[in-house]
Amino acid sequence: MEQKVKIGLIGLGTVGTGVVKVLKDFENIEIAKIAVKNINKKRDIENLDQSILTDNPFEIVNNPEVDIVVEVIGGIEPAYDLLKTAILNGKHIVTANKELLAKKGQELFNLANENNTVILYEAAIAGGIPIIMPIKTTLAGNKIRTIEAILNGTTNYILTKMEKDGVSYEEVLKEAQKLGYAETDPTGDVEGFDSAYKIATLATIALNQRVDINKIYREGITKISAKDMKFAKELGYRIKLIALAKLTEDNKADVRVHPMLIPLKDCLASINGVTNSVVLEGFPVGRVMFAGPGAGMFPTASSVLGDILAIAKSIGSSEMLPLMKCAHSVNALQIDINDTINKYYIAITASNTPGVIGNIGEICGRHNISLASVLQKGIDEQNTADIVVITESCKEENIKSAISELEKNPNILKINNIIRVME
């Protein structure tokens, strides 16, 4: 009779509950122990064996019977200490912890290699979307040069709703919080931290260079207005929070998270609501897109389950899942945001004065910036107008210099927003 693989589960929140529910259909896998904060809390799990619950997670990582530790609690501590202990005890790891991987991944992966254990983390990047396994296996022969991704469902929901209903960021955020799409403190999502953690790991795998989370430029969606959404659409774009990673011609890594105007014809422009998507471009595959649920109980549990089964089938091998192990020895040379080249959307409130658009063009020209399009909207009661400019590709530092001069011009009353534009 086949020996059961024993799982130790750390965390029984939304994802942990999903994992327990889906694992009941697999007779070769047994949940030996589950670590929770409160043993007496009522759980939405039918026939849950209370005897396997513990409030001491070290009972799991030090348990000699546990083969695989599944960590779904998030954060750095105590997750880091627990997984480090588990690896030293020869246990394999499945985690959904994007922050831990971004900040401590290199150390944990090196430790796992030394102990012939494996860390799988499909659920940490894009919820239910399979992306790490395909990159490591099916796409292994490709030289991937670009990643363009929507990796946070909360921000994508907010931006989709803002565009559809023409309402403010603040109004949609309140609604998202009521519906459970946004946390009470939404900072991790709306300021881009969540996406930055995910792109740090995804870029490391896809670009085959170690990416430093501390060198990733990050900008959230809190400055996006309903007007920005409207103007972008009139110009043929849609605004999304994009996690971007690409290799420059001299093999440096350009990795960042910020809002972007996406052309309506681009596949990412059609990703709405809480859906996530990852677009990879490389040779020889060309451009491929993955899309699906980026969060939720069962989509995320699906990815966790896939990792558990992959390890379970390999237990007993002389070398565990060699393709899935970390083999990155090169630290990426990451370029500063000021050295990046982009197109830009600039939203301006200006006096209704003859020649003001000419002033904008002249100032941009002095900083080696060409204008691709200009949109001027009606005059209001204060005799001011909204002017929106889309530039041609130029260096970030040139845009900053031009904005500084524009702000000093008496006819320019306010620079409302500057958003990069996807080409």
Active site residues: 198
3-state helix, strand, coil in the chain (%, to 5): 40, 30, 35
389 and 348 in contact (C-beta within 8 Å)? Answer: yes
* Best CA proximity match to 71, nearest among 11, 30, 27, 113: 11
**Tokens at residue 126, please?**
């894009």
Quote the strand ranges of 11-108, DSSP E.
Answer: 29-35, 53-54, 68-71, 92-95
For the chain, the residue count is 423
Segment (H or E) for 378:
strand 371-379
Q: What is the dihedral of CA 354, 360, 363, 369, to 10 degrees?
A: -150
- Residue 415: what are its φ and ψ, rounded to 5°? -95, 110
Alpha carbon 263 to its chain's center: 20
* DSSP string of 275-321, one letter each residue: EEEEEEEEETTEEEEEEEE-SSHHHHHHHHHHHHHHHHHHTT-SS--
∠ CA(194), CA(231), CA(217), 5° rounding? 30
Half-sphere exposure of 92 (CA within 13 A, CB side): 28
Half-sphere exposure of 276 (CA within 13 A, CB side): 26
6 and 25 in contact (C-beta within 8 Å)? Answer: no
> Please, what's the largest Cα pairwise distance for the chain?
87
Helix/strand/coil for 95: strand
User: First and final CA of the chain: distance in angstroms?
Assistant: 58
Question: How far, in Å, CA of 20 to CA of 105, rounded?
Answer: 26
Helix/strand/coil for 240: strand
Quote the strand ranges of 38-142, DSSP E.
Answer: 53-54, 68-71, 92-95, 119-120
Bridge pairing between strands 286-293 and 341-351: unpaired
- Residue 200: what are its φ and ψ, rounded to 5°? -60, -45
